[in-house]
Structure 1
Amino acid sequence: MSDCRLYLITPPAFDPQAFAPTLAAALDAGDVACVQLRLKDVPDDAVRRAADLLRPLVQARDVAFILNDRPDLAAELGCDGVHIGQEDTPYRQARKLVGPDAIVGVTCHDSRHLAMVAGEDGADYVAFGAFFPTQTKDAPTRADPEILRWWQEMMEIPCVAIGGITVENAAPLVDAGADFLAVCGGVWSHPDGPAAAVKAFTTLLAG
Protein backbone atom coordinates (compact mmCIF):
# COMPACT_ATOMS: atom_id res chain seq x y z
CA MET A 1 0.00 0.00 0.00
CA SER A 2 1.33 3.45 -0.91
CA ASP A 3 1.20 6.45 1.43
CA CYS A 4 0.27 8.62 -1.53
CA ARG A 5 -3.02 10.51 -1.29
CA LEU A 6 -5.24 12.51 -3.62
CA TYR A 7 -5.01 16.32 -3.76
CA LEU A 8 -8.01 17.71 -5.63
CA ILE A 9 -7.86 20.98 -7.56
CA THR A 10 -11.11 22.67 -8.50
CA PRO A 11 -11.96 23.14 -12.20
CA PRO A 12 -10.62 26.31 -13.89
CA ALA A 13 -14.10 27.88 -13.97
CA PHE A 14 -17.33 26.85 -12.28
CA ASP A 15 -20.49 28.11 -10.60
CA PRO A 16 -19.91 27.45 -6.87
CA GLN A 17 -23.59 26.80 -6.11
CA ALA A 18 -23.90 24.19 -8.86
CA PHE A 19 -20.46 22.71 -8.15
CA ALA A 20 -20.93 22.19 -4.40
CA PRO A 21 -22.96 18.93 -4.65
CA THR A 22 -20.50 17.55 -7.24
CA LEU A 23 -17.59 18.29 -4.93
CA ALA A 24 -19.38 16.77 -1.94
CA ALA A 25 -20.10 13.57 -3.89
CA ALA A 26 -16.47 13.37 -5.04
CA LEU A 27 -15.17 13.77 -1.47
CA ASP A 28 -17.56 11.11 -0.22
CA ALA A 29 -16.42 8.64 -2.89
CA GLY A 30 -12.93 7.97 -1.50
CA ASP A 31 -9.85 9.28 0.28
CA VAL A 32 -9.00 12.92 -0.45
CA ALA A 33 -6.32 14.75 1.53
CA CYS A 34 -7.06 18.29 0.45
CA VAL A 35 -8.94 20.50 -1.97
CA GLN A 36 -7.31 23.51 -3.60
CA LEU A 37 -9.62 26.30 -4.70
CA ARG A 38 -8.05 27.59 -7.89
CA LEU A 39 -9.88 30.45 -9.57
CA LYS A 40 -7.86 32.55 -12.00
CA ASP A 41 -8.65 36.03 -13.29
CA VAL A 42 -11.79 36.53 -11.22
CA PRO A 43 -12.61 39.34 -8.75
CA ASP A 44 -11.76 38.79 -5.09
CA ASP A 45 -15.45 38.66 -4.24
CA ALA A 46 -15.88 35.66 -6.57
CA VAL A 47 -13.09 33.87 -4.66
CA ARG A 48 -14.74 34.82 -1.37
CA ARG A 49 -18.13 33.52 -2.51
CA ALA A 50 -16.66 30.22 -3.71
CA ALA A 51 -14.59 29.77 -0.54
CA ASP A 52 -17.49 30.57 1.78
CA LEU A 53 -19.63 27.98 0.03
CA LEU A 54 -17.09 25.19 -0.46
CA ARG A 55 -14.79 25.48 2.57
CA PRO A 56 -17.36 24.30 5.15
CA LEU A 57 -18.28 21.18 3.17
CA VAL A 58 -14.59 20.33 2.63
CA GLN A 59 -13.52 20.92 6.24
CA ALA A 60 -16.57 19.08 7.60
CA ARG A 61 -15.13 15.95 5.96
CA ASP A 62 -11.75 16.47 7.67
CA VAL A 63 -10.19 17.49 4.35
CA ALA A 64 -7.83 20.48 4.17
CA PHE A 65 -9.05 23.48 2.19
CA ILE A 66 -6.25 25.34 0.41
CA LEU A 67 -6.46 28.53 -1.61
CA ASN A 68 -4.33 29.06 -4.69
CA ASP A 69 -2.09 32.15 -4.99
CA ARG A 70 -3.64 34.39 -2.33
CA PRO A 71 -2.29 34.10 1.22
CA ASP A 72 -4.12 37.31 2.21
CA LEU A 73 -7.50 35.84 1.23
CA ALA A 74 -6.57 32.41 2.66
CA ALA A 75 -6.06 34.03 6.06
CA GLU A 76 -9.21 36.15 5.78
CA LEU A 77 -11.45 33.26 4.69
CA GLY A 78 -10.43 30.62 7.23
CA CYS A 79 -8.64 28.35 4.76
CA ASP A 80 -6.24 25.70 6.03
CA GLY A 81 -3.44 27.04 3.86
CA VAL A 82 -2.25 28.48 0.58
CA HIS A 83 -0.46 27.23 -2.51
CA ILE A 84 1.95 29.68 -4.12
CA GLY A 85 3.67 29.67 -7.49
CA GLN A 86 7.07 31.10 -8.32
CA GLU A 87 5.45 34.30 -9.63
CA ASP A 88 3.16 34.74 -6.61
CA THR A 89 3.76 36.11 -3.12
CA PRO A 90 7.21 34.99 -1.88
CA TYR A 91 7.17 32.17 0.68
CA ARG A 92 8.20 34.24 3.70
CA GLN A 93 5.59 36.88 3.04
CA ALA A 94 2.95 34.19 2.50
CA ARG A 95 3.92 32.52 5.77
CA LYS A 96 3.63 35.82 7.61
CA LEU A 97 0.13 36.36 6.20
CA VAL A 98 -1.29 32.90 6.96
CA GLY A 99 0.52 32.28 10.24
CA PRO A 100 2.75 29.50 11.56
CA ASP A 101 0.10 26.77 11.68
CA ALA A 102 -1.29 27.06 8.14
CA ILE A 103 -0.13 24.92 5.22
CA VAL A 104 2.07 26.68 2.67
CA GLY A 105 2.93 24.73 -0.50
CA VAL A 106 5.21 25.93 -3.26
CA THR A 107 5.29 25.20 -7.00
CA CYS A 108 8.82 24.16 -8.00
CA HIS A 109 8.20 23.07 -11.62
CA ASP A 110 11.04 20.66 -12.58
CA SER A 111 13.69 22.51 -10.55
CA ARG A 112 15.71 20.79 -7.85
CA HIS A 113 17.13 24.17 -6.88
CA LEU A 114 13.71 25.80 -6.36
CA ALA A 115 12.60 22.78 -4.34
CA MET A 116 15.64 22.95 -2.07
CA VAL A 117 15.10 26.67 -1.49
CA ALA A 118 11.42 26.11 -0.67
CA GLY A 119 12.29 23.25 1.66
CA GLU A 120 14.93 25.26 3.47
CA ASP A 121 12.56 28.20 3.80
CA GLY A 122 10.08 25.94 5.59
CA ALA A 123 7.46 25.04 2.97
CA ASP A 124 5.02 22.32 4.06
CA TYR A 125 5.22 20.67 0.65
CA VAL A 126 6.80 21.21 -2.76
CA ALA A 127 4.97 20.56 -6.03
CA PHE A 128 6.71 19.21 -9.14
CA GLY A 129 5.27 19.14 -12.67
CA ALA A 130 3.89 19.03 -15.17
CA PHE A 131 4.40 15.29 -15.59
CA PHE A 132 1.96 14.93 -18.49
CA PRO A 133 0.32 17.28 -21.00
CA THR A 134 -2.43 19.26 -19.30
CA GLN A 135 -5.37 21.29 -20.55
CA THR A 136 -5.93 22.97 -17.20
CA LYS A 137 -3.11 25.47 -17.39
CA ASP A 138 -0.21 26.48 -19.57
CA ALA A 139 2.54 24.35 -18.00
CA PRO A 140 5.97 25.90 -18.62
CA THR A 141 7.95 22.81 -17.67
CA ARG A 142 7.86 19.04 -18.05
CA ALA A 143 9.08 17.05 -15.06
CA ASP A 144 10.49 13.52 -14.94
CA PRO A 145 9.39 11.06 -12.21
CA GLU A 146 13.07 10.78 -11.28
CA ILE A 147 12.79 14.15 -9.48
CA LEU A 148 10.30 12.56 -7.05
CA ARG A 149 12.77 9.78 -6.26
CA TRP A 150 15.56 12.27 -5.74
CA TRP A 151 13.42 14.39 -3.42
CA GLN A 152 12.36 11.41 -1.30
CA GLU A 153 15.98 10.41 -0.77
CA MET A 154 16.97 13.97 0.16
CA MET A 155 14.13 15.43 2.16
CA GLU A 156 11.39 14.66 4.69
CA ILE A 157 9.05 17.36 3.34
CA PRO A 158 6.20 15.89 1.26
CA CYS A 159 6.16 16.29 -2.51
CA VAL A 160 3.16 16.74 -4.77
CA ALA A 161 3.06 15.57 -8.39
CA ILE A 162 0.92 17.72 -10.70
CA GLY A 163 0.05 18.07 -14.36
CA GLY A 164 -2.20 15.93 -16.54
CA ILE A 165 -2.48 13.10 -14.00
CA THR A 166 -5.20 10.51 -14.57
CA VAL A 167 -6.04 7.13 -13.05
CA GLU A 168 -4.41 5.53 -16.11
CA ASN A 169 -1.03 7.29 -15.92
CA ALA A 170 -0.59 7.85 -12.17
CA ALA A 171 1.11 4.58 -11.13
CA PRO A 172 4.70 5.56 -12.13
CA LEU A 173 4.43 8.74 -10.05
CA VAL A 174 3.27 6.77 -7.02
CA ASP A 175 6.11 4.29 -7.54
CA ALA A 176 8.60 7.16 -7.79
CA GLY A 177 7.56 8.44 -4.38
CA ALA A 178 4.92 11.15 -4.79
CA ASP A 179 3.24 11.85 -1.44
CA PHE A 180 0.26 13.48 -3.15
CA LEU A 181 -1.22 13.45 -6.65
CA ALA A 182 -2.69 16.83 -7.55
CA VAL A 183 -5.52 16.17 -9.99
CA CYS A 184 -7.96 18.44 -11.76
CA GLY A 185 -9.16 17.30 -15.20
CA GLY A 186 -8.43 13.66 -14.33
CA VAL A 187 -11.31 13.84 -11.84
CA TRP A 188 -13.74 16.49 -13.12
CA SER A 189 -13.54 15.33 -16.76
CA HIS A 190 -13.58 11.60 -16.01
CA PRO A 191 -15.99 9.82 -18.41
CA ASP A 192 -17.80 8.11 -15.52
CA GLY A 193 -17.98 11.28 -13.42
CA PRO A 194 -15.89 12.78 -10.59
CA ALA A 195 -17.07 10.39 -7.87
CA ALA A 196 -16.06 7.37 -9.98
CA ALA A 197 -12.66 8.98 -10.58
CA VAL A 198 -12.03 9.54 -6.86
CA LYS A 199 -13.07 5.97 -6.15
CA ALA A 200 -10.67 4.70 -8.82
CA PHE A 201 -7.80 6.83 -7.48
CA THR A 202 -8.53 5.57 -3.94
CA THR A 203 -8.36 1.96 -5.16
CA LEU A 204 -5.12 2.65 -7.06
CA LEU A 205 -3.44 4.34 -4.09
CA ALA A 206 -4.55 1.64 -1.67
CA GLY A 207 -3.05 -1.05 -3.95
Structure 2
Amino acid sequence: MPEAVGKTLRGLYAITPEGLASSTLLAQVGAALEGGAGFVQYRDKSQDAARRADTARALLSLCKEFGARLLINDDLALALAVNADGVHLGATDGDLQAARQALGADALLGASCYADFDRARAAVLAGVDYVAFGAVYPSATKPQAELAPWSLFTRCRSELRVPACAIGGITVNRARPLLAAGADLLAVIGDLFEAPDVAARAAAYQQLFEEEHREFS
Protein backbone atom coordinates (compact mmCIF):
# COMPACT_ATOMS: atom_id res chain seq x y z
CA MET A 1 0.00 0.00 0.00
CA PRO A 2 1.20 3.57 -0.59
CA GLU A 3 2.60 5.39 2.41
CA ALA A 4 -0.03 8.12 2.54
CA VAL A 5 -0.94 8.06 6.22
CA GLY A 6 -0.18 11.15 8.29
CA LYS A 7 2.61 13.11 6.68
CA THR A 8 4.71 10.21 5.52
CA LEU A 9 5.49 11.29 1.98
CA ARG A 10 6.78 8.53 -0.21
CA GLY A 11 5.46 6.89 -3.34
CA LEU A 12 3.96 7.56 -6.73
CA TYR A 13 2.59 11.09 -7.12
CA ALA A 14 0.11 11.13 -10.00
CA ILE A 15 -0.16 14.52 -11.72
CA THR A 16 -3.39 14.79 -13.67
CA PRO A 17 -3.21 15.51 -17.41
CA GLU A 18 -5.14 18.47 -18.76
CA GLY A 19 -7.79 18.50 -21.45
CA LEU A 20 -9.65 15.32 -20.48
CA ALA A 21 -13.37 15.08 -19.88
CA SER A 22 -14.09 14.80 -16.16
CA SER A 23 -15.44 11.26 -16.50
CA THR A 24 -12.30 10.14 -18.33
CA LEU A 25 -10.05 11.86 -15.84
CA LEU A 26 -11.81 10.26 -12.88
CA ALA A 27 -11.61 6.83 -14.48
CA GLN A 28 -7.88 7.20 -15.13
CA VAL A 29 -7.13 8.55 -11.67
CA GLY A 30 -9.15 5.69 -10.20
CA ALA A 31 -6.98 3.24 -12.10
CA ALA A 32 -3.81 4.95 -10.86
CA LEU A 33 -5.06 4.74 -7.29
CA GLU A 34 -6.00 1.12 -7.74
CA GLY A 35 -2.43 0.46 -8.88
CA GLY A 36 -0.96 2.08 -5.78
CA ALA A 37 -0.58 5.83 -6.30
CA GLY A 38 -0.57 7.44 -2.86
CA PHE A 39 -0.85 11.06 -3.97
CA VAL A 40 -2.73 12.89 -6.70
CA GLN A 41 -2.16 16.46 -7.82
CA TYR A 42 -5.06 18.04 -9.68
CA ARG A 43 -3.62 20.31 -12.35
CA ASP A 44 -6.07 22.31 -14.45
CA LYS A 45 -5.25 25.76 -15.83
CA SER A 46 -8.68 26.33 -17.40
CA GLN A 47 -10.87 29.27 -16.41
CA ASP A 48 -14.02 27.24 -15.69
CA ALA A 49 -14.02 27.64 -11.92
CA ALA A 50 -17.23 25.70 -11.32
CA ARG A 51 -16.08 22.70 -13.34
CA ARG A 52 -12.68 22.75 -11.63
CA ALA A 53 -14.33 22.75 -8.21
CA ASP A 54 -16.68 19.91 -9.14
CA THR A 55 -13.80 17.85 -10.51
CA ALA A 56 -11.65 18.55 -7.46
CA ARG A 57 -14.42 17.39 -5.12
CA ALA A 58 -14.92 14.22 -7.13
CA LEU A 59 -11.18 13.52 -7.12
CA LEU A 60 -11.03 14.09 -3.37
CA SER A 61 -13.82 11.60 -2.79
CA LEU A 62 -12.05 9.10 -5.01
CA CYS A 63 -8.74 9.58 -3.20
CA LYS A 64 -10.42 9.02 0.16
CA GLU A 65 -11.71 5.66 -1.05
CA PHE A 66 -8.12 4.54 -1.54
CA GLY A 67 -6.56 6.25 1.47
CA ALA A 68 -4.65 8.59 -0.85
CA ARG A 69 -4.10 12.36 -0.64
CA LEU A 70 -5.31 15.02 -3.09
CA LEU A 71 -3.33 18.20 -3.60
CA ILE A 72 -4.36 21.10 -5.82
CA ASN A 73 -1.83 22.60 -8.19
CA ASP A 74 -1.22 26.34 -7.91
CA ASP A 75 -4.61 27.26 -6.43
CA LEU A 76 -4.77 27.74 -2.67
CA ALA A 77 -8.31 29.13 -2.82
CA LEU A 78 -9.60 26.00 -4.58
CA ALA A 79 -7.78 23.72 -2.15
CA LEU A 80 -9.39 25.50 0.77
CA ALA A 81 -12.82 25.59 -0.88
CA VAL A 82 -12.98 21.83 -1.43
CA ASN A 83 -11.05 20.93 1.73
CA ALA A 84 -8.35 19.16 -0.24
CA ASP A 85 -5.47 17.48 1.54
CA GLY A 86 -3.07 20.20 0.42
CA VAL A 87 -1.71 22.43 -2.29
CA HIS A 88 1.40 22.58 -4.46
CA LEU A 89 2.72 26.00 -5.40
CA GLY A 90 5.15 27.11 -8.07
CA ALA A 91 7.45 30.11 -7.87
CA THR A 92 4.78 32.63 -8.92
CA ASP A 93 1.74 31.02 -7.30
CA GLY A 94 1.66 32.68 -3.91
CA ASP A 95 3.57 33.11 -0.69
CA LEU A 96 4.45 29.81 0.95
CA GLN A 97 4.34 31.10 4.49
CA ALA A 98 0.89 32.63 3.94
CA ALA A 99 -0.27 29.36 2.37
CA ARG A 100 0.93 27.41 5.39
CA GLN A 101 -0.98 29.73 7.72
CA ALA A 102 -4.13 29.42 5.63
CA LEU A 103 -3.91 25.64 5.36
CA GLY A 104 -3.10 24.94 8.99
CA ALA A 105 -0.58 22.46 10.27
CA ASP A 106 -2.22 19.24 9.10
CA ALA A 107 -2.57 19.93 5.37
CA LEU A 108 0.21 19.22 2.90
CA LEU A 109 2.16 22.03 1.28
CA GLY A 110 4.63 21.42 -1.53
CA ALA A 111 6.80 23.80 -3.51
CA SER A 112 8.43 23.69 -6.94
CA CYS A 113 12.13 24.42 -6.53
CA TYR A 114 13.26 23.56 -10.06
CA ALA A 115 17.07 23.24 -9.92
CA ASP A 116 17.53 25.73 -7.10
CA PHE A 117 18.66 24.40 -3.72
CA ASP A 118 18.49 27.85 -2.12
CA ARG A 119 14.83 28.06 -3.12
CA ALA A 120 14.29 24.69 -1.47
CA ARG A 121 15.99 25.86 1.72
CA ALA A 122 13.75 28.95 1.83
CA ALA A 123 10.67 26.80 1.16
CA VAL A 124 11.50 24.57 4.11
CA LEU A 125 11.88 27.60 6.35
CA ALA A 126 8.44 28.75 5.14
CA GLY A 127 6.91 25.49 6.32
CA VAL A 128 6.55 23.20 3.30
CA ASP A 129 6.21 19.45 3.74
CA TYR A 130 8.16 18.57 0.61
CA VAL A 131 10.13 20.22 -2.15
CA ALA A 132 10.08 19.28 -5.84
CA PHE A 133 13.10 19.33 -8.13
CA GLY A 134 12.95 19.02 -11.89
CA ALA A 135 12.92 18.50 -14.68
CA VAL A 136 15.03 15.46 -13.89
CA TYR A 137 14.75 14.31 -17.51
CA PRO A 138 13.72 16.23 -20.64
CA SER A 139 9.96 16.67 -20.32
CA ALA A 140 7.29 16.85 -23.00
CA THR A 141 5.07 18.75 -20.55
CA LYS A 142 7.65 21.51 -20.00
CA PRO A 143 10.24 21.15 -22.78
CA GLN A 144 12.06 24.38 -21.84
CA ALA A 145 12.57 23.38 -18.22
CA GLU A 146 16.11 23.47 -16.87
CA LEU A 147 17.39 20.03 -15.97
CA ALA A 148 17.89 19.56 -12.23
CA PRO A 149 21.01 17.68 -11.07
CA TRP A 150 20.23 14.58 -9.07
CA SER A 151 22.65 15.66 -6.36
CA LEU A 152 19.83 17.94 -5.18
CA PHE A 153 18.01 14.90 -3.80
CA THR A 154 21.03 13.73 -1.85
CA ARG A 155 21.58 17.23 -0.46
CA CYS A 156 17.91 17.58 0.42
CA ARG A 157 17.95 14.36 2.42
CA SER A 158 21.14 15.20 4.30
CA GLU A 159 20.80 18.98 4.75
CA LEU A 160 17.11 19.85 4.70
CA ARG A 161 15.66 16.58 5.99
CA VAL A 162 12.36 16.93 4.19
CA PRO A 163 10.98 14.65 1.46
CA ALA A 164 12.00 15.51 -2.10
CA CYS A 165 9.85 14.99 -5.17
CA ALA A 166 11.30 14.32 -8.62
CA ILE A 167 9.38 15.54 -11.64
CA GLY A 168 9.93 15.80 -15.37
CA GLY A 169 10.22 13.12 -18.02
CA ILE A 170 10.07 10.23 -15.56
CA THR A 171 9.27 6.76 -16.86
CA VAL A 172 9.15 3.50 -14.98
CA ASN A 173 12.39 2.44 -16.69
CA ARG A 174 14.12 5.66 -15.60
CA ALA A 175 12.79 5.76 -12.05
CA ARG A 176 15.09 3.47 -10.07
CA PRO A 177 18.19 5.75 -10.19
CA LEU A 178 16.09 8.64 -8.87
CA LEU A 179 15.11 6.63 -5.82
CA ALA A 180 18.74 5.69 -5.29
CA ALA A 181 19.67 9.38 -5.49
CA GLY A 182 17.25 10.18 -2.68
CA ALA A 183 13.90 11.04 -4.29
CA ASP A 184 10.97 10.18 -2.02
CA LEU A 185 8.15 11.02 -4.42
CA LEU A 186 8.00 10.46 -8.17
CA ALA A 187 5.64 12.87 -9.91
CA VAL A 188 4.47 11.35 -13.18
CA ILE A 189 2.05 12.47 -15.87
CA GLY A 190 2.58 11.03 -19.34
CA ASP A 191 4.20 7.70 -18.52
CA LEU A 192 1.33 6.95 -16.16
CA PHE A 193 -1.77 8.31 -17.84
CA GLU A 194 -0.72 7.50 -21.40
CA ALA A 195 0.04 3.88 -20.48
CA PRO A 196 -2.21 1.24 -22.05
CA ASP A 197 -2.99 -0.03 -18.54
CA VAL A 198 -2.82 2.80 -16.01
CA ALA A 199 -3.34 0.56 -12.98
CA ALA A 200 -0.56 -1.80 -14.06
CA ARG A 201 1.81 1.09 -14.70
CA ALA A 202 1.08 2.55 -11.26
CA ALA A 203 1.70 -0.87 -9.72
CA ALA A 204 5.05 -1.07 -11.49
CA TYR A 205 6.09 2.21 -9.87
CA GLN A 206 4.88 1.03 -6.48
CA GLN A 207 6.94 -2.12 -6.85
CA LEU A 208 10.06 -0.01 -7.37
CA PHE A 209 9.41 1.77 -4.07
CA GLU A 210 8.88 -1.54 -2.29
CA GLU A 211 12.06 -3.00 -3.75
CA GLU A 212 14.07 0.07 -2.82
CA HIS A 213 12.68 -0.06 0.73
CA ARG A 214 13.73 -3.69 1.10
CA GLU A 215 17.22 -2.93 -0.19
CA PHE A 216 17.85 -0.21 2.38
CA SER A 217 15.91 -1.56 5.37
Q: Same fold (TM over 0.5)?
A: yes
| Structure 2 residue aligned with 1:107 | 112
**Mapping of 1:159-174 within 5 angstroms?**
159-174=164-179
- Taking the aligned partners of 2:134 and 2:31, their CA distance within structure 1 comes to 27
Amino acid at match of 1:49: D
- Taking the aligned partners of 1:175 and 1:49, their CA distance within structure 2 comes to 38
| Structure 1 residue aligned with 2:203 | 199
Q: CA deviation at 1:98?
A: 2.0
Q: CA deviation at 1:50?
A: 1.0
Amino acid at match of 1:91: L
| Structure 2 residue aligned with 1:176 | 181
Q: CA deviation at 1:139?
A: 4.7
**Mapping of 1:113-128 within 5 angstroms?**
113-128=118-133
Local SS of the residue matching 2:162: coil
- 1:131-155 CA distance string (max 9 Å, x none): 1111223553210111111111112
| Structure 2 residue aligned with 1:134 | 139
CA separation of 1:152 and 1:165: change in aligned 2, threshold 3 A = same
- Taking the aligned partners of 1:117 and 1:22, their CA distance within structure 2 comes to 35
- Taking the aligned partners of 1:186 and 1:137, their CA distance within structure 2 comes to 14
Local SS of the residue matching 2:38: strand
Identity %: 34
- 1:64-120 CA distance string (max 9 Å, x none): 010000111101111000000001111022123322221110000000100000011
| Structure 2 residue aligned with 1:83 | 88
Out of 137-146 and 164-173, give the one that drifted further.
137-146
Query: Where does structure 1 lack aligned partners over 5 or more consecutive residues?
Result: none
Local SS of the residue matching 1:12: coil
- Taking the aligned partners of 2:190 and 2:72, their CA distance within structure 1 comes to 18
- Taking the aligned partners of 1:4 and 1:95, their CA distance within structure 2 comes to 21
Amino acid at match of 2:184: D
CA separation of 1:43 and 1:139: change in aligned 2, threshold 3 A = farther
Q: CA deviation at 1:20?
A: 1.5
Amino acid at match of 1:14: L
- Taking the aligned partners of 1:99 and 1:113, their CA distance within structure 2 comes to 24
Query: Where does structure 2 lack aligned partners over 5 or more consecutive residues?
Result: 1-8, 212-217
Aligned residues: 203
